[in-house]
Structure 1
Amino acid sequence: MFGNEAKQTITVRASISTVTLWQASLLPAFIEAYPGINVRLVSTIWGNSIAEEDVDIDLRIGYGDWPGMQAEKISTETVVPVSALDGNQSIGSSTDLLQQPHIYILGHEDSWETYLSTHGLVAESSHIRYMVDTTATALALAAAGGGIAIIITRFVDAAIHSGCAVSVVGDPVEFPQSHYFVNPVNQSAPRPEVRLLKSWIRSVFDESVGGLR
């Protein structure tokens, strides 16, 4: 599936949003610094295509409560509301978000509750117009004028940098989910090149600090 592999190949598994909206744009810097290491990225949408023992780095986003697994928190995340570029004129305050169609992301349904409750507001089910299973789809819908999505700030920043036609229409709010390195409790010690990449990923997260503006 991935062609010929060099001896020092590291397999990284992460959510498709983490891979496409953030990690893929940063990894070329690592490869340039360490040309003797190849990286194989596997998104969790293809989770069954690779054996657990073949995953060197399992990067997940959640609450850190995976049964039978050790989880090392490596990020602090925030979320922001986004709309189409020409839709930001109708958003003057957080209250205005209640007047717009809402785009919900499966697995991140609490992003709307988190954002609105911070501003003393409550989301109603009648506001939900779309439910999607990836952040990339939510961004595409928002860019097309489909409504407002609440999205992890680092993903929004990367998407806008790549040309996605969305606008941030509110201040960032702390999000309870974070990125974690996850591994089985009985996993053997990682190879030196795996430790190197994990250290590099930690440093990249530290530099961006969840996209806090």
Structure 2
Amino acid sequence: MGRRWLPSLSALRGFEAAARHESAKQAAEELSVTATAISHQVRALEEALGVSLFVRKPRQLELTSQGRELQQVLETAFDSISSTLERISGAPCRQAITLSTTPAVAVRWLLSWVCMLRDSHPDIDLRIHASHEPVALDGVTADIAIRYGDGRWPGLVAEKLLDNTFIPACSPHLALNDPAQLPQHSLIHFRNQAAASAPIDWAAWQKQANVPGLDVSAGLVFTDETHAVSAAVGAQGVALMSRQLIEDELREGRLVQSFGPELEGKPFFLVYPESRKNDPTIRAVRDWVMAVPGGLCSL
């Protein structure tokens, strides 16, 4: 075989990171260099190849057709190199990945099943980013997320995970079996200004139930869903909660749903960048989340 011609490997690596993130700044953060260095590497690569690899837009890099072709080849090549190094070294190369979701989904649904991921992929270090506010899936703040909404997020793959049905729930010790009794008890509210979805709250419930004398503005207010659930279990009032997130309490009888109506909220989706759908670590975490008991794919 003749001598291979290759441009700078640093330039290829910098370009691949910039293409994956569609950002020189985020590529620089990943590779621990400056954004200027990434820009110089990409420019040098373009000059060496005699083609434009990106269309430069404000705050974003958009791949040209030649850039997309090169990015796909480099992604496959770098994955192959990583796998080979792992195999011949005998020690798995650890991969860190950050999953962003709400605190309630993390605590009440996901964390009990982290062992499934650890058993099947001991080389993956999972980091949970718990927040009500959606964050960028840029490979720096987070890589993959569980969000609730309509499933339409530009540039992201969205796979439906959970329905989101809101029900009035309370401790059986309250002996509540008729909505007409609600005005005699405290309402438990969950409110968070960072929530991206239209709220399902007691005001929305009352529009359907029309319970006489019910003041939907009064009661206990929590900014964390898990605290609202704890208050309901402790017989401090009646909470309007996602049934999918209190299934353990309902099954064990610590909470009961004595009446309706039920309100359908926006479902939960697993989302990740379209550009990283073939990333082995993304795929591994995706497969784990989709297999967690209680999700639609595990039913």
Change (3 A) 1:29 1:57: same
Which SS does the other structure have where 1:146 is aligned? coil
1:130-141 mapped onto 2 (5 Å cutoff):
130-141=220-231
Change (3 A) 1:115 1:33: farther
In structure 1, what is the equivalent of residue 267 of structure 2? 178
Which SS does the other structure have where 1:58 is aligned? strand
TM normalised by structure 2 equals 0.54
Cα distance between partner residues in 1 of 2:298 and 2:166: 14
Change (3 A) 1:203 1:145: same
More strand by share: 1
Question: Which has the higher mean CA deviation after the structures are superposed, 133-142 or 68-77?
Answer: 68-77
- Is residue 258 of structure 2 the alignment partner of residue 169 of structure 1? yes
In structure 1, what is the equivalent of residue 109 of structure 2? 22
In structure 2, what is the equivalent of residue 203 of structure 1? 291
Change (3 A) 1:132 1:123: farther
Which SS does the other structure have where 1:39 is aligned? strand
5+ residue gaps, structure 1, are 1-5
Cα distance between partner residues in 2 of 1:114 and 1:203: 33
Larger radius of gyration: 2
In structure 2, what is the equivalent of residue 53 of structure 1? 139
**How large is the RMSD of aligned CA atoms in angstroms?**
3.6
Alignment partner of 1:32 out of 116, 119, 123: 119
Cα distance between partner residues in 2 of 1:56 and 1:126: 39
Residue deviations 1:156-195 (CA, integer Å, cap 9, x gap): 123567x89444434683522211233467x444521211
Structure 2 residue identity aligned to 1:143: V
Cα distance between partner residues in 2 of 1:17 and 1:197: 19
Cα distance between partner residues in 2 of 1:174 and 1:34: 38
Task: Tell me: higher relative CO, structure 1 or 2? Use CA pairs within 8 A at least 6 residues apart.
Answer: 1
TM normalised by structure 1 equals 0.73
Give the superposition deviation at 1:39.
1.4
Q: How many residues align?
A: 199
Which SS does the other structure have where 2:219 is aligned? strand
1:53-202 mapped onto 2 (5 Å cutoff):
53-54=139-140, 55-64=142-151, 70=156, 72=158, 73-87=160-174, 89=175, 91-106=176-191, 107=195, 109-119=199-209, 121=211, 124-126=214-216, 128-159=218-249, 165-170=254-259, 173-183=262-272, 187-202=275-290
| 8 Å contact kept, 1:17–1:136 | yes
Question: Which has the higher mean CA deviation after the structures are superposed, 26-35 or 120-129?
Answer: 120-129
Give the superposition deviation at 1:138.
0.5
Which SS does the other structure have where 1:40 is aligned? strand
| 8 Å contact kept, 2:190–2:224 | yes
Structure 1 residue identity aligned to 2:105: T
In structure 2, what is the equivalent of residue 10 of structure 1? 97
5+ residue gaps, structure 2, are 1-92
Identity of aligned residues (%): 17
Cα distance between partner residues in 2 of 1:176 and 1:45: 16
Change (3 A) 1:51 1:179: closer
Cα distance between partner residues in 2 of 1:12 and 1:110: 25
Cα distance between partner residues in 2 of 1:109 and 1:171: 18
Question: Which has the higher mean CA deviation after the structures are superposed, 32-41 or 170-179?
Answer: 170-179
